[in-house]
Chains A and B, each alone.
Chain A
């Protein structure tokens, strides 16, 4: 961090034409979102209000149970259309089998933002990298004025970003229909369109607001809002969570050779 101070004190003289940098801002003048972030909410369990509940295996006792939590949906309820609501209820019933997270599948957006694993933002003027510890997934947000079009459907979507004052606005389309929003069966179609707003509240707290639009699934757009907390530990870093090996037995166990 003292590199910034040198520039400010010397008025840029030390590196010739290098511009002075304000605290917490990048060289191109935007809030610096780079760092390691994580939500403290239980949104990944359930986007809506949820009480504490037993988990699927009594053998794990309290370790395998579901915590309570306040929902992050503005207005409280996700506005499913009647057909989609039935699907959500079926998803919930079969969630220990059907939740893509159980299979170590990529989380999609916005779920990757509030997984119980940190993610790291690397901010550059032309592209912003978000590297998620969960399943070693990532996405790159194009920050150039020329938009990138989604040429194929993907798990993490195709993201274009821009600055709206001090708010990073990310517009993402090109999703497949395979990810869920949480472990409670909340889902979407491939018509999903997400607009996210990342705003630093102070150096170590970021407000995250996501507008979710999917005319095939919901009767209107709806929003989620939560806080992201910076990991301020000395030498904070992402560690690795490659979960494929933890999902192989459940995915392929039926075709493993039985040993007598």
Chain B
């Protein structure tokens, strides 16, 4: 289902999303107590297909050309049509898992979300200017290499699988960056606070705007401790106090020194510009920034994602691994018996 790009897209070519907003002199609606009104239900479904890091061929180019956008729209339409036709997709995410030793057909098409409108972004990372995450520190590299693998075929225990597979959390960025499902978010506002509820593993962040200090370093959490304030029409949220080493951002488990700075700016009735700077000097040699729009999609409903309650996969994967263990042990046992009976 093709949709015309909003006129806003043309202004995007000339700079960052937030400065385009200033240029357009858009005046967002205000809440009854005078704060810019960010409230609503949003989705990042339209960001499906946009890579986190920019393919090198784009260089410092943030946006697709008309032709590239048309090609992306074609792929989006094809993926979207699979929901109607029931044909299992072989592009996008499912192309990426082919050849990774995964012996599985794609899940039923309607289990996966696809973009409704192709997005012009060449990558989600917008800074550094080449759209690629800066080099890791030696510590960061160690953590990246040692982290649990999604495709671990023989996990000894749940600790060999990541926080996503264990349904513990996807962390702040992981709950918000576009994925194959669970891309909804809902923003609530009351005097002195903003609350964001995420569809992805039902996280909620309550963000006080009262200028209070963060909790002390002895109190750490997976979603961190957020504090917000307004800068003009932009909500700025600074989050610290993360548990380190367990959840990743940009494919690397971040340290407890991670600081996230997020900016939410309403662009028009349907779109909020989201920008987050990842600053973790123990993991990345420089901060890096992701920016993308979140869209109010009429009729989009946030569903309960009872990840842990329905995590049959965990028991299935572990019991399958134990069955393979037993099979191998039986094979070795038979071999050992043979060697004993016929010593060389």
Residues on A lying within 8 angstroms of B by beta carbon are 3-4, 15, 18-19, 26-28, 34, 100, 104-106, 120, 122-124, 126-127, 129, 131, 135-138, 140, 151-152, 154-156, 178, 235, 237-240, 242, 244-245, 248, 251-252, 255-257
Contact = CB atoms under 8 A, between A and B. Distances in A.
B325 interface: yes
A129 B186 CA distance: 10
Interface stretch (B3-11, B66-74, B303-311, B332-340): B303-311
Contact of B158 (A120, A156, A252): A252
A106 B309 contact: yes
Contacts of B202: 136-138
A239 B215 CA distance: 10
A18 B186 contact: no
Interface string B186-230: 101111110101000111101010001001000101110000000
Nearest to A124: B188
Contacts of A105: 306, 308-309
B315 interface: yes
B157 interface: yes
A233 to B, nearest CB: 12
The dominant DSSP class at the B interface is loop
Contacts of A124: 39, 188-190
13 contacts: A34-B190, A105-B309, A126-B39, A135-B308, A136-B202, A137-B202, A238-B206, A240-B221, A242-B168, A244-B308, A248-B158, A252-B157, A257-B325
Nearest to A241: B221
The dominant DSSP class at the A interface is loop
A237 B208 contact: yes
A255 B319 contact: yes
Nearest to A255: B318
B206 A237 contact: yes
Contacts of B271: none
A123 B314 contact: no
B166 A248 contact: yes
Contacts of B33: 3, 18, 27
Contacts of B204: 129, 131, 136, 138
B95 to A, nearest CB: 30
B167 interface: yes
B186 A140 contact: yes
Interface string B223-266: 10000000000000000000000000000000000000000000
Given A129-B204, A138-B202, A155-B304, A239 B166 contact: no
Nearest to B213: A235
A249 B202 CA distance: 23
B224 to A, nearest CB: 9
A27 B315 contact: no
Of B32, B195, B318, most buried by chain A (CB within 10 Å of CB) is B32
B322 interface: yes
B34 interface: yes
B196 to A, nearest CB: 9
B112 interface: no
B233 to A, nearest CB: 16
B322 A242 contact: no
A240 B156 contact: no
Given A122-B195, A152-B304, A244-B167, 18 more contacts: A18-B33, A27-B32, A27-B33, A105-B306, A126-B39, A127-B188, A129-B195, A129-B197, A131-B197, A131-B204, A136-B169, A137-B202, A138-B197, A138-B202, A154-B304, A240-B221, A251-B315, A255-B321
Given A122-B193, A124-B188, A242-B222, A155 B315 contact: no
Given A127-B188, A131-B206, A235-B212, A252 B314 contact: yes
Contacts of B319: 255
B149 to A, nearest CB: 16
A245 B168 contact: yes
Contacts of B302: 140
Of A120, A131, A155, most buried by chain B (CB within 10 Å of CB) is A131
Contacts of B219: 239
